[in-house]
C-alpha cells in the first residue's frame, strides 16, 4: 500500500498483479491498482482529470491523461472517500507508476494532488538494483 497526502486529500494505492490475465511468454504482464481518495479537508472538492506516468523496467515511459477516473468526475464532501480499481499492461515483469489528479475546490481554485509512486513487481520476482 502506498499513501500520499496533498492539500488534505489522501490518496492510497494498492497494486495487484493479475497472474491469470498475464502472458509472461508473450511479455504481457497485467496489473490492477485499487485507489482510495479521501477528502480530509474542510471544503468540497471535485476530481477533474488525471495524469499518469507508467515506466517499465526498460525505462520506457507511457503518459496517460484524461478526464476524471473510470468515466467519473467524483465530488467529495469533507470526510468522504471515493474508491475505484483500474489497470495497466506492462511489457516487462516490473515497473513503476506515479501521477497526479487535477482537482477544483468549491471556491473555484484548481490544484493538483499527488498520486504516490508505486512499484509493480511480480510477487516472486527477485528484485535487483541497477
Q: pTM for this one?
A: 0.91
- Which residue do the cell numbers 500520499 mark? 4
Predicted pLDDT at 122? 87
User: Which DSSP string corresponds to 6-44?
Assistant: ETTEEEEEEEEE-GGG-BGGGTBEEEEEEEEEEE-SSS-
Predicted pLDDT at 123? 81
Give the whole-angstrom CA distance, residue 94 versus residue 20. 16
Q: pLDDT digit string (tens) for 1-60?
A: 999 999 999 999 999 999 999 999 999 999 999 999 999 999 999 999 999 999 999 999
Domains of the chain: 2-120 (2.60.40.1470)
Amino acid at each position: 500500500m502506498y499513501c500520499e497526502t496533498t492539500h488534505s486529500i489522501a490518496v492510497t494505492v494498492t497494486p495487484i498483479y493479475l497472474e491469470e490475465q498475464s502472458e509472461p511468454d508473450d511479455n504481457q504482464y497485467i496489473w490492477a491498482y485499487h485507489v482510495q481518495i479521501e477528502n480530509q479537508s474542510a471544503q468540497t472538492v471535485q476530481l477533474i482529470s488525471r495524469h499518469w506516468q507508467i515506466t517499465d523496467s526498460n525505462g520506457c515511459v507511457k503518459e496517460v491523461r484524461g478526464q476524471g477516473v473510470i468515466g467519473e468526475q467524483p465530488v467529495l464532501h469533507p470526510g468522504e472517500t471515493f474508491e475505484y480499481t483500474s489497470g495497466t499492461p506492462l511489457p516487462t515483469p516490473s515497473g513503476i507508476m506515479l501521477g497526479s489528479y487535477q482537482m477544483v475546490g468549491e471556491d473555484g481554485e484548481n490544484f493538483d494532488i499527488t498520486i504516490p509512486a508505486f512499484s509493480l513487481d511480480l510477487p516472486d520476482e527477485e528484485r535487483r538494483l541497477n
